Amino acid sequence: MAGLKKSMSFSLMGILAVNCLILTALWVQKAAALPVTSHCKIDESDFQRPYFINRTFMLAEEASFADNNTDVRLIGDELFQGVKMQDRCYLMKEILNFTLGEVLIPQSDRFQPHMQEVVSFLTKLSSQLSSCHISGNGQRIQKNIQTLKETVKQLGEGGEIKVIGELNLLFMFLRNSCV
Ligand SMILES: *[C@@H]1O[C@H](CO)[C@@H](O)[C@H](O)[C@H]1NC(C)=O
Ligand SMILES: *[C@@H]1O[C@H](CO)[C@@H](O)[C@H](O)[C@H]1NC(C)=O
Ligand SMILES: *[C@@H]1O[C@H](CO)[C@@H](O)[C@H](O)[C@H]1NC(C)=O
Protein backbone atom coordinates (compact mmCIF):
# COMPACT_ATOMS: atom_id res chain seq x y z
CA MET A 1 0.00 0.00 0.00
CA ALA A 2 2.75 2.32 1.00
CA GLY A 3 4.63 1.33 -2.17
CA LEU A 4 1.61 2.09 -4.39
CA LYS A 5 1.09 5.44 -2.74
CA LYS A 6 4.72 6.22 -3.26
CA SER A 7 4.66 5.36 -6.97
CA MET A 8 1.45 7.39 -7.42
CA SER A 9 3.03 10.40 -5.90
CA PHE A 10 6.05 9.83 -8.10
CA SER A 11 3.92 9.80 -11.23
CA LEU A 12 2.08 12.89 -10.03
CA MET A 13 5.42 14.58 -9.62
CA GLY A 14 6.25 13.43 -13.14
CA ILE A 15 3.11 15.01 -14.56
CA LEU A 16 3.77 18.22 -12.70
CA ALA A 17 7.32 18.30 -13.98
CA VAL A 18 6.19 17.76 -17.58
CA ASN A 19 3.54 20.47 -17.22
CA CYS A 20 6.15 22.75 -15.85
CA LEU A 21 8.41 22.06 -18.81
CA ILE A 22 5.57 22.73 -21.27
CA LEU A 23 4.73 25.99 -19.52
CA THR A 24 8.37 27.01 -19.59
CA ALA A 25 8.60 26.15 -23.28
CA LEU A 26 5.44 28.16 -24.03
CA TRP A 27 6.74 31.07 -22.04
CA VAL A 28 10.08 31.03 -23.86
CA GLN A 29 8.24 30.86 -27.19
CA LYS A 30 6.02 33.76 -26.25
CA ALA A 31 9.00 35.84 -25.16
CA ALA A 32 10.70 35.10 -28.47
CA ALA A 33 7.57 36.07 -30.42
CA LEU A 34 7.41 39.43 -28.63
CA PRO A 35 10.84 40.82 -29.35
CA VAL A 36 11.85 44.43 -28.91
CA THR A 37 8.30 45.77 -29.08
CA SER A 38 7.88 44.82 -25.41
CA HIS A 39 10.00 47.86 -24.54
CA CYS A 40 7.34 50.02 -26.15
CA LYS A 41 5.47 50.71 -22.98
CA ILE A 42 4.82 53.61 -20.64
CA ASP A 43 3.61 53.04 -17.12
CA GLU A 44 -0.03 54.02 -16.76
CA SER A 45 0.75 55.93 -13.56
CA ASP A 46 2.86 58.34 -15.61
CA PHE A 47 -0.26 59.42 -17.44
CA GLN A 48 -2.22 59.93 -14.24
CA ARG A 49 -0.77 63.29 -13.34
CA PRO A 50 -3.64 65.75 -13.18
CA TYR A 51 -1.36 68.75 -12.81
CA PHE A 52 0.72 68.01 -15.91
CA ILE A 53 -2.29 66.89 -17.92
CA ASN A 54 -3.93 70.19 -17.08
CA ARG A 55 -0.82 72.11 -18.21
CA THR A 56 -0.62 70.10 -21.43
CA PHE A 57 -4.26 70.75 -22.25
CA MET A 58 -4.00 74.42 -21.31
CA LEU A 59 -1.00 74.85 -23.57
CA ALA A 60 -2.79 73.08 -26.42
CA GLU A 61 -5.83 75.28 -25.95
CA GLU A 62 -3.75 78.44 -25.90
CA ALA A 63 -1.95 77.49 -29.13
CA SER A 64 -5.10 76.39 -30.89
CA PHE A 65 -6.49 79.92 -30.46
CA ALA A 66 -3.54 81.07 -32.54
CA ASP A 67 -4.06 78.34 -35.14
CA ASN A 68 -6.18 79.75 -37.93
CA ASN A 69 -5.95 76.72 -40.20
CA THR A 70 -8.89 74.47 -39.46
CA ASP A 71 -8.57 72.32 -42.60
CA VAL A 72 -5.56 70.33 -41.46
CA ARG A 73 -5.40 67.84 -38.63
CA LEU A 74 -2.02 66.32 -37.80
CA ILE A 75 -2.78 63.80 -35.09
CA GLY A 76 -5.54 61.46 -36.18
CA ASP A 77 -6.33 57.90 -37.14
CA GLU A 78 -4.62 58.32 -40.54
CA LEU A 79 -1.33 58.10 -38.66
CA PHE A 80 -2.10 54.45 -37.97
CA GLN A 81 -3.07 53.52 -41.51
CA GLY A 82 -1.29 50.29 -42.45
CA VAL A 83 0.45 50.19 -39.07
CA LYS A 84 0.16 47.05 -36.95
CA MET A 85 -1.29 47.40 -33.47
CA GLN A 86 2.00 46.44 -31.81
CA ASP A 87 3.90 49.12 -33.74
CA ARG A 88 1.66 52.02 -32.82
CA CYS A 89 3.58 52.91 -29.70
CA TYR A 90 6.80 53.08 -31.71
CA LEU A 91 5.11 55.39 -34.19
CA MET A 92 3.91 57.65 -31.38
CA LYS A 93 7.42 57.59 -29.90
CA GLU A 94 8.73 59.01 -33.16
CA ILE A 95 5.99 61.66 -33.30
CA LEU A 96 6.78 62.62 -29.71
CA ASN A 97 10.48 62.83 -30.51
CA PHE A 98 9.73 65.13 -33.46
CA THR A 99 7.34 67.25 -31.40
CA LEU A 100 9.88 67.76 -28.63
CA GLY A 101 12.99 68.14 -30.74
CA GLU A 102 11.67 70.12 -33.70
CA VAL A 103 8.82 72.11 -32.22
CA LEU A 104 8.56 72.45 -28.45
CA ILE A 105 12.21 72.89 -27.53
CA PRO A 106 12.91 75.44 -30.32
CA GLN A 107 9.70 77.29 -29.37
CA SER A 108 10.27 77.03 -25.66
CA ASP A 109 10.51 80.75 -25.08
CA ARG A 110 6.92 81.04 -26.26
CA PHE A 111 3.76 80.04 -24.44
CA GLN A 112 5.25 80.43 -21.01
CA PRO A 113 4.67 79.47 -18.24
CA HIS A 114 3.09 76.21 -19.38
CA MET A 115 5.60 75.31 -22.06
CA GLN A 116 8.48 74.53 -19.73
CA GLU A 117 6.42 72.19 -17.54
CA VAL A 118 4.92 70.44 -20.53
CA VAL A 119 8.37 69.92 -22.07
CA SER A 120 9.66 68.30 -18.91
CA PHE A 121 6.56 66.11 -18.61
CA LEU A 122 6.75 64.91 -22.22
CA THR A 123 10.51 64.39 -21.96
CA LYS A 124 9.90 62.07 -19.04
CA LEU A 125 7.36 60.06 -21.06
CA SER A 126 9.74 59.99 -24.00
CA SER A 127 12.62 58.68 -21.91
CA GLN A 128 10.57 55.59 -21.02
CA LEU A 129 10.51 54.68 -24.69
CA SER A 130 14.25 54.92 -25.27
CA SER A 131 14.59 51.18 -26.02
CA CYS A 132 11.38 50.97 -28.05
CA HIS A 133 12.16 49.77 -31.57
CA ILE A 134 10.35 47.86 -34.27
CA SER A 135 11.34 44.48 -35.60
CA GLY A 136 10.74 44.98 -39.33
CA ASN A 137 11.88 47.81 -41.59
CA GLY A 138 8.76 49.82 -40.78
CA GLN A 139 8.54 51.46 -44.20
CA ARG A 140 4.88 52.26 -43.77
CA ILE A 141 5.51 53.77 -40.34
CA GLN A 142 8.31 55.96 -41.67
CA LYS A 143 6.07 57.11 -44.50
CA ASN A 144 3.27 58.14 -42.13
CA ILE A 145 5.74 60.00 -39.91
CA GLN A 146 7.28 61.69 -42.92
CA THR A 147 3.85 62.84 -44.12
CA LEU A 148 3.22 64.54 -40.79
CA LYS A 149 6.66 66.18 -40.77
CA GLU A 150 6.23 67.47 -44.31
CA THR A 151 2.79 68.88 -43.54
CA VAL A 152 4.23 70.75 -40.56
CA LYS A 153 7.09 72.06 -42.67
CA GLN A 154 4.77 73.22 -45.45
CA LEU A 155 2.63 75.15 -42.97
CA GLY A 156 5.72 76.94 -41.66
CA GLU A 157 5.23 78.66 -38.34
CA GLY A 158 1.53 77.87 -38.52
CA GLY A 159 2.51 74.19 -38.60
CA GLU A 160 4.44 74.44 -35.37
CA ILE A 161 1.56 76.26 -33.71
CA LYS A 162 -0.72 73.48 -34.92
CA VAL A 163 1.55 70.82 -33.40
CA ILE A 164 1.33 72.63 -30.07
CA GLY A 165 -2.41 73.06 -30.47
CA GLU A 166 -2.76 69.29 -30.89
CA LEU A 167 -0.72 68.32 -27.82
CA ASN A 168 -3.91 67.14 -26.17
CA LEU A 169 -4.42 64.69 -29.04
CA LEU A 170 -0.78 63.63 -28.92
CA PHE A 171 -1.16 62.91 -25.22
CA MET A 172 -4.26 60.78 -25.77
CA PHE A 173 -2.84 58.87 -28.73
CA LEU A 174 0.33 58.18 -26.77
CA ARG A 175 -1.64 56.85 -23.85
CA ASN A 176 -3.85 54.67 -26.02
CA SER A 177 -0.86 53.23 -27.88
CA CYS A 178 1.70 52.75 -25.13
CA VAL A 179 -0.10 51.83 -21.89
C1 LIG B 1 -6.60 73.63 -15.44
O2 LIG B 1 -6.62 74.11 -14.11
C3 LIG B 1 -7.10 75.46 -13.98
C4 LIG B 1 -6.97 75.85 -12.53
O5 LIG B 1 -5.63 75.76 -12.12
C6 LIG B 1 -8.53 75.52 -14.47
O7 LIG B 1 -8.99 76.85 -14.38
C8 LIG B 1 -8.61 75.04 -15.90
O9 LIG B 1 -9.94 75.01 -16.34
C10 LIG B 1 -8.00 73.67 -16.05
N11 LIG B 1 -7.95 73.38 -17.47
C12 LIG B 1 -8.12 72.18 -18.00
C13 LIG B 1 -8.04 72.08 -19.48
O14 LIG B 1 -8.29 71.19 -17.32
C1 LIG C 1 -3.15 82.71 -40.55
O2 LIG C 1 -2.10 83.29 -39.83
C3 LIG C 1 -0.93 83.55 -40.60
C4 LIG C 1 0.12 84.12 -39.68
O5 LIG C 1 0.06 83.56 -38.42
C6 LIG C 1 -1.26 84.52 -41.73
O7 LIG C 1 -0.11 84.72 -42.51
C8 LIG C 1 -2.39 83.96 -42.55
O9 LIG C 1 -2.77 84.91 -43.52
C10 LIG C 1 -3.58 83.63 -41.69
N11 LIG C 1 -4.57 82.96 -42.50
C12 LIG C 1 -5.86 83.23 -42.40
C13 LIG C 1 -6.75 82.43 -43.28
O14 LIG C 1 -6.30 84.05 -41.61
C1 LIG D 1 15.07 62.12 -30.76
O2 LIG D 1 15.68 60.92 -31.18
C3 LIG D 1 17.04 61.04 -31.50
C4 LIG D 1 17.50 59.72 -32.08
O5 LIG D 1 17.10 58.66 -31.31
C6 LIG D 1 17.81 61.45 -30.25
O7 LIG D 1 19.17 61.61 -30.55
C8 LIG D 1 17.24 62.78 -29.74
O9 LIG D 1 17.88 63.13 -28.54
C10 LIG D 1 15.75 62.66 -29.51
N11 LIG D 1 15.22 63.98 -29.19
C12 LIG D 1 14.52 64.24 -28.10
C13 LIG D 1 14.10 65.65 -27.91
O14 LIG D 1 14.20 63.36 -27.29
Mean pLDDT by 10 residues, the chain (179 residues): 51 50 45 58 94 97 93 95 94 98 94 94 96 88 97 95 97 96
- Residue 3 confidence (pLDDT): 53
Q: What is the pLDDT of residue 131?
A: 95
- Residue to mutate (ligand 2; options 67, 68, 107; most atoms within 8 A of CB): 68
Q: Which ligand is nearest to the CA of 171?
A: 1
**Which residue lies with its CA nearest to atom 14 of ligand 2?**
68
**What per-residue confidence (pLDDT) applies to 25?**
47
In 3D space, the residue among 101, 158, 89 whose CA is nearest the CA of residue 129 turns out to be 89
Could you tell me the pTM of the whole model? 0.79
Q: Which of 170, 169, 171, 149 is nearest to 160 (CA)?
A: 149
Nearest CA to ligand 1 atom 3: 54
